[in-house]
C-alpha cells in the first residue's frame, strides 16, 4: 500500500523514508527497495539532487528512527509507537517524525542538582 503522492520538498527526507517503511507490507526493506519506493512516491524525482541515494543511506544510518538487521531497514519500535499515526496521516493531520537533532539527548554538566 502506498500513500498519496506529495511533493518531496514538503516533508523532510527522514519523513519520506519513515513513510516508505511504515506503509510497506513487510515493514522492513533493503536500501534498494527504499529508494525504489521513494521514487514511486515522488512524481518530481528528476528534480532530486544527483546524490539523493547517498542522502537516503546517510539518513538511515544517522537517525535513531531507523534500525538495520540483516541488511533490512525498519522503524525503531519506540518511534513507530510514538509517531506512525501522524507520519502517515494526510493533509493538516500529517506530522513529520522528529529529526535526528531533536531526538538526541544533550547532557548539560553546568546544571547540577541542588541537593548534591
Model confidence pLDDT, tens digit, residues 28-81: 999 999 999 988 877 676 777 788 899 999 989 988 889 999 999 998 887 776
- CB-based contact 79:97 (threshold 8 Å): yes
pLDDT band at 2, cuts 50/70/90? very low
- Alpha-carbon gap, residue 58 to 52, rounded angstroms: 10
Residue 90: what pLDDT?
A: 60
Query: Do the Cβ atoms of 3 and 84 come closer than 8 Å?
Result: no
pLDDT band at 88 (very low <50, low <70, confident <90, very high): low
Domain 9-96 adopts which CATH fold? Arc Repressor Mutant, subunit A (1.10.10)
- pTM of the predicted structure, to 2 decimals: 0.65
Amino acid at each position: 500500500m502506498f500513500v498519496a503522492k506529495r511533493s518531496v520538498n514538503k516533508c523532510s527526507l527522514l519523513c519520506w523514508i519513515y513513510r516508505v517503511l511504515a506503509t510497506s507490507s513487510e515493514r522492513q526493506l533493503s536500501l534498494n527497495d527504499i529508494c525504489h519506493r521513494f521514487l514511486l512516491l515522488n512524481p518530481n524525482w528528476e528534480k532530486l539532487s544527483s546524490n539523493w541515494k547517498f542522502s537516503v543511506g546517510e539518513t538511515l544510518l544517522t537517525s535513531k528512527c531507523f534500525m538495520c538487521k540483516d541488511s533490512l531497514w525498519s522503524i525503531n519500535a519506540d518511534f513507530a509507537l510514538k509517531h506512525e499515526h501522524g507520519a502517515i496521516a494526510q493533509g493538516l493531520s500529517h506530522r513529520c517524525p522528529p529529526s535526528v537533532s531533536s531526538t538526541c539527548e544533550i547532557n548539560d554538566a553546568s546544571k547540577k542538582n541542588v541537593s548534591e
